[in-house]
């Protein structure tokens, strides 16, 4: 744990990012302590094309990760115990966690059942110290819910989220405004949101290993090399993030995507990969109880030259034939090997029907 007093300058925001450690698995281990020493995951079964929602840290030592197929997870860890999700238990824990967050500020933006941003800039609690509030929140989650949480404190959402993973599990890390520039400059580029293994490897081939290295590239050069994502890279490597904490932000879409270590060279390879994504998409829609809200289907493709295209159509179901046609249309636009493939649905506006709330959200990737 890393604690110190943050700046109290009035123009500096105080953002906490808090999320529980291996949330679903943590609830299961809380209810059955005998599971704590076993490699444990929560998700679908391998013989039904299941996917891992989360796993404990014992399983992670074997290379098991969230969003991995259950079949692959069992190959990596033959003794892995996979439990089906118990959503009622997780939602009950989530309600308590969200209530704790809201005791400190009304500016709470949930990202999943256990994860949220909190803007505590104007909060009077703990003498206005975001550091002390984050520690108190973690203590209350341990006492009232029976699981551990990690938190990060920073001057914006981007830095707070990076910080929350710095001392996982059961940790706290604080980045003061005066330390933010140096903290971000030293970050490996792989820590930036949207930079996966393939992009990180490409950046390293270009001599870019840290955000400090990335800062030597102009905005124009980054845009020419990485397209629209280059503009995002230009901002993130400088620690710039003006996004506000938005309470009860309505969900607009649900999607899944994968960046492949080896490019998908043919349309047939793309269609086979799409067939593996669709069951996961269906599962996430079901967990979000969002079936009645679906009104469009879309496929996203990023080619080996980093050009990207998205094709969508009005459609209310996850139908392999429809998604297959969207994929074919998108692939024909550039007819090149594919490095990233995604599939998703867009939801009707909140004003048109019941809004999706926190307790219908599917889990985010667990840190």
Judge if 191 and 262 occupy the same domain: no
What string of DSSP letters covers 230-246? HHHHHHHTTT---PPP-
Say yes or no: 188 and 260 in one domain: no
For residue 276, is it within any domain?
yes
- Distance, CA of 50 to CA of 36 (rounded, Å): 22
Q: Per the domain annotation, does 197 fall within a domain?
A: yes
Exposure of 111 in the CB half-sphere (CA atoms within 13 A)? 16
Q: Which of 335, 356, 339 is nearest to 284 (CA)?
A: 356
Is 317 an annotated catalytic residue? no
Report the alpha-carbon distance of residue 242 to residue 119 in Å, rounded: 12
The token duo for 95 is 């309600």
Token pair recorded at residue 5 = 């007093």
Query: Are 268 and 225 found together in one domain?
Result: no
Question: CA–CA separation, 188 vs 197, rounded Å?
Answer: 12
Considering the domain boundaries, does residue 5 fall inside one?
Answer: no
pLDDT of residue 168: 92
Where residue 214 sits, what CATH number does that domain have? 1.10.150.20
Is residue 269 domain-shared with residue 337, that is, in the same domain? yes
Residue 8 in any domain: the answer is no
DSSP state at residue 53: E
298: which strand partners?
A: 312, 344
Which of these is catalytic: 6, 28, 37, 115? 115
Directed axis angle between helix 87-102 and helix 23-31, to 10°? Answer: 110
In angstroms, the CA 340 to CA 331 distance is: 12
Instruction: Give the chain's domain count.
Output: 2
In a domain, 128, yes or no: no
Please indicate, yes or no, whether residues 270 and 192 belong to a single structural domain of this protein: no
Phi, psi values for residue 152, rounded to 5°: -130, 145
**191, 207, 236 - which closes a domain:** 236
Helix (H, G, I), strand (E, B) or coil at 330: helix
Beta strands 15-20 and 149-154, pairing class: antiparallel
82 occurs within a structural domain: no
Q: Is residue 275 included in any domain, yes or no? A: yes
Predicted confidence at residue 167, as pLDDT, reads: 92
> What CATH number is associated with residue 276?
3.30.1490.100
E-assigned strand segments in the chain: 15-20, 40-43, 52-55, 81-83, 108-110, 116-119, 149-154, 172-174, 253-264, 294-303, 308-314, 338-347
Tell me the residue range of the domain where 195 lies: 182-236
Position 301 scores a pLDDT of 96
Assigned domain for 48 exists: no
Per-residue pLDDT at 131: 97
pLDDT in tens, the chain (367 residues): 444 444 444 468 999 999 999 999 999 999 999 999 999 999 988 877 678 989 999 999 999 998 888 889 999 999 999 999 998 899 999 999 999 999 999 999 998 889 999 999 999 999 999 999 999 999 999 999 999 999 999 999 999 999 999 999 999 999 999 999 999 999 999 888 888 888 888 899 999 999 999 999 999 999 998 888 899 899 999 999 989 998 866 678 899 988 887 899 999 999 999 999 999 999 888 877 788 888 999 999 999 888 899 999 998 889 999 999 999 999 999 999 999 999 999 988 544 433 333 333 333 333 3
Q: Which two tokens stand for residue 68?
A: 């991995």
- Give the contacts of 64 (CB within 8 A, at least 6 positions apart): 39, 41, 52, 55, 73, 76, 77, 80
With contact defined as beta carbons under 8 Å apart, do 172 and 150 qualify?
yes
What pLDDT sits at residue 248?
A: 65
Asked whether 125 and 131 are in contact (CB, 8 A), the reply is no
Question: d(Cα 11, Cα 121) in Å, to the nearest integer?
Answer: 9
> Does 309 lie in the same domain as 225?
no
């Amino acid at each position: 744990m890393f604690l110190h007093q943050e700046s109290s300058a009035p123009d500096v925001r105080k953002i906490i990012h808090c999320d529980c450690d291996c949330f679903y698995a943590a609830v299961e281990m809380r209810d059955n302590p005998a599971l704590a020493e076993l490699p444990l995951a929560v998700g679908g079964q391998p013989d039904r094309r299941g996917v891992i929602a989360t796993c404990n840290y014992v399983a992670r030592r074997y290379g098991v990760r969230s969003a991995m197929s259950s079949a692959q997870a069992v190959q990596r860890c033959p003794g892995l115990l996979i439990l089906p999700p118990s959503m009622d238990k997780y939602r009950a824990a989530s309600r308590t966690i969200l209530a704790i967050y809201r005791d400190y500020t009304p500016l709470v933006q949930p990202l999943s059942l256990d994860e949220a941003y909190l803007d505590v800039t104007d909060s009077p609690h703990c003498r206005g110290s975001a550091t002390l509030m984050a520690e108190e929140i973690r203590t209350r989650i341990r006492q009232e819910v029976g699981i551990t949480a990690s938190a990060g404190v920073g001057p914006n959402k981007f830095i707070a989220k990076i910080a929350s993973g710095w001392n996982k599990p059961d940790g706290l890390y604080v980045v003061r405004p005066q330390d933010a520039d140096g903290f971000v400059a030293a970050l490996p580029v792989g820590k930036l949101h949207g930079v996966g293994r393939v992009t990180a490897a490409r950046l390293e081939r270009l001599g870019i290993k840290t955000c400090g290295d990335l800062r030597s590239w102009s905005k124009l050069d980054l845009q020419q090399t990485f397209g629209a994502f280059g503009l995002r890279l230009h901002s993130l490597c400088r620690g710039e993030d003006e996004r506000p904490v938005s309470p009860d932000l309505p969900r607009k879409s649900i999607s899944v995507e994968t960046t492949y270590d080896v490019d998908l060279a043919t349309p047939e390879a793309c269609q086979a990969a799409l067939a593996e994504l669709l069951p996961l998409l269906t599962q996430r829609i079901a967990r979000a109880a969002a079936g009645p809200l679906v009104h469009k289907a879309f496929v996203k493709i990023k080619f080996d030259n980093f050009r990207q295209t998205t094709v969508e159509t009005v459609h209310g179901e996850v139908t392999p034939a429809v998604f297959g046609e969207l994929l074919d249309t998108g692939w024909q636009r550039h007819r090149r090997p594919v490095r990233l493939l995604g599939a998703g649905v867009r939801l009707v506006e909140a004003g048109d029907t019941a809004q999706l709330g926190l307790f219908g959200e599917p889990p985010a990737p667990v840190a």
